[in-house]
Amino acid sequence: MTGLSLIPAIVVEFAGSALAIILAFIALAYARALAKLQPNNFIWGFLWYFSIAMAAFSLSRGVGHIVRISLVYSDNSLIWQKLAPLSGGFNTMLMISVAAVIIYYHKGLAAYKVIRSEAEKLAVANLKLASNAKELQQLNSGLETIVDARTRDLSKSEKKFRNFFENSKDIVYFCDINGRITNINNSGLKMLGFTQHPETINFHELFSDPEILNLYLSTLGEEGFISDLEMECTGSDGIPRHLLLSANAILDRNGNIIGYEGIGKDMTRLKTITEQLINHEKMASVGEMAAGIAHEINTPLGIILGYTQLMLDDFESDSDTHDNMKVIERQTKVCRRIVADLLKFSRQSQSEKSSININTIINDVLSVTEHSLNINKVRVVRQLDPSLPDVYADAEKLQQVFINLFNNSQYAMADGGKICISTTHDEKHVHITVRDSGSGIPTDIKNKIFDPFFTTKEVGKGTGLGLSVTYGIIKDHEGTISVNSPVSDLENDTKTNENAPGTEFHITLPIKTSNPSITTQG
């Protein structure tokens, strides 16, 4: 039986072995290219190592088949028998390597999946973190805008408060619970008589009346605020001032009082004007009463004086009766003089006004009174404006004004001194100042000196109508009169001495117009 030819099988095996080697190295090259393209890709890394193992196995097995075919068909079977075990062992070792690579792939793939999963989670976390960072950045940007806006608003508010605090003409203060002022505006310092900010100011010590201070503190403690409290305070300059005070208590987080804040309006001028208005009304009422009394008393006094003078002729001049009648005559004349003062005070006498110069009136009065003043060691200093315009006034009544002022100054300078008389003018008024170096006027009676029948002279030395009459005459001439005491000396701008603070009367009268008023009732 003829056997089949093995040539086709041998050719196929030989060609297949060669083709397996070629394809294995092609796969190895492709795997190498992928691994280079993505070095961190686990799949391409595994495929590279797997291709190396398969290329080595294909090379070993293909070469083994080719060598076997070549040796067997070249009658070198004995050589192949010796090489066959080596070739098989080497192939087995390479097969094991391929298996190891495959096993490593499964384990590595599992690890890769875990790592990939963690990496994906980390990537998601990074994305969220980036998103949150972006939101945070946007929020931060918005927050900066909000903070800038709030800062600008606070700056505007602080600027408004600071402007109010610094420019307010009222006293604005902050103090602790013990009354020590922690902050006060410049107007408050001036109002309290301070020329510069002292180290410490205790607001409670400025209260002149302890009862008002107790009311202030108790009301703030109970109500937490106080409104329109009228108080009198004495500043560092010793001048009393009247304030209308409103204040609030400052509380801590626990509701405990830790200080006070308040605003005070200076009511001194308003109070002075109010007192002057009251005084004017009082003087008007007293004037009406004085006029009525003067008219009722004047007639019987005239009769008593007339009969007394007639009876003097009936008695001898050296008799007791004659002396008694002289006493009655003298005292009756005193009463008539008082009645005359009452009539002047009530301005019931006729006022005959004309164009006159105040300097002339002053010189006329001094020509009569200066000698008496010099005898009493009173020196007169004239500072009269030579260009002084005329006023429309009653010369006789203005003479009475200056006589009263000079007499008062002389009385205040029992041991001598100085009277300084000055005149000036502006566009509308003539200003007259009579200043002395006398004992001055106590603060507590300064607002009473123009009251009728008020006098500091001893009984029998004054009726208390001199300044009241002066006040009425000046008012009748549409002028003003005010008093200031103590004052500084005109020549050296210092107080004359510690015991002679001095007094200053300031008079203003309107300058004569082209159409002055005609004769009026005084």
**Residue 489 clears pLDDT 60, i.e. is over it:** no
Angstrom distance (rounded) from CA 232 to CA 212: 9
* Average pLDDT of the residues in 364-375: 82
* Average pLDDT of the residues in 294-308: 76
Residue 398 CB-density burial (10 A; 0-12 exposed, 13-18 middle, 19+ buried): buried
pLDDT digits (tens, 9 = 90+) for 243-264: 888 888 888 888 888 888 888 8
Domain range summary for the chain, segments of one domain joined by +: 7-137, 171-266, 272-345, 350-521
Choose the most confident range, by mean pLDDT, from 101-115, 156-170, 415-429: 415-429
CB 344 within 8 A of CB 400: yes
**Residue 426 clears pLDDT 70, i.e. is over it:** yes
pTM beyond 0.85, yes or no:
no
pLDDT (0 to 100) of residue 127: 84
pLDDT (0 to 100) of residue 44: 73
Helix (H) / strand (E) element for 245: namely strand 240-251
Q: Which CATH number fits domain 350-521: 2.40.30.10, 3.30.565.10, 3.40.50.2300, 1.10.630.10?
A: 3.30.565.10
* Tokens found for residue 488: 């500084």
**Domain 171-266 annotated CATH 3.50.50.60:** no
Of 417, 338, 404, the C-alpha closest to 365 is 404
Angstrom distance (rounded) from CA 510 to CA 448: 26
**Residue 152 clears pLDDT 60, i.e. is over it:** yes
Say what the alpha-carbon torsion angle 465, 470, 471, 476 is, to the nearest 10 degrees.
120
CB 341 within 8 A of CB 463: yes
